[in-house]
Structure 1
Amino acid sequence: MTVKFDATDAEAAAVRKIAKRYAHLARTYGDTRKYRAIKLHATMDLLAVNANGCPLDFMRMQDADDFNLLHDVCGIDRHLDRDSGKLLDCFVPRFAKQEMVA
């Protein structure tokens, strides 16, 4: 199955801001990967989840406190099936939109 990464311009802009903030937090808390690698990884994960069955509320996520932002991005990283773009193990991000696509 092919993973989709479709996003509107507004969603893509919000994801870039979220990924940038996440990369900064990750480095602050000890992630040893390069900043750009962390940012790219988070960007792709967020876009994949959003386009493949779990729409995310990026506007709310942008305004989230550090703890809740880290919860969602780290949880997505841990539970994302990279072959399908779907979340596994019943993980639901805190900033998932109310209606989930089956």
Structure 2
Amino acid sequence: MANILVTTTEQIPNQHYEIIGEVYGLTTQSKNFIRDMGAGLKSLVGGEIKDYTKMLNESRRIAIQRLKDNAAEMGADAVVMMRFDTGSISQDMQSVAAYGTAVRFVD
């Protein structure tokens, strides 16, 4: 597992670094029949659809780990300006991307 610092900020306090390049981590998750049925019922009464929230949280976790792995392969120590992007590929598939700038610490 890559031990890479990931931050949404542009600067890391008290660190000097050089930019290596863009890094990203992607995942696509599919909803299953049980989740779809539960979501359909929940939409009738309103409220949080916990299975979908759980799926999106897991997708973000996977995307960040893949981002870290990508950064480690490039020799990075950290990723700055990390962001998420999400989208639907189809009615039953959700994609999550984590992306940012890989950097290497210098003295």
TM-score by length of 2: 0.31
More helix by share: 1
Q: Which has the higher contact order (CA 8 A, sep 6+)?
A: 2
TM-score by length of 1: 0.32
Larger Rg belongs to: 2
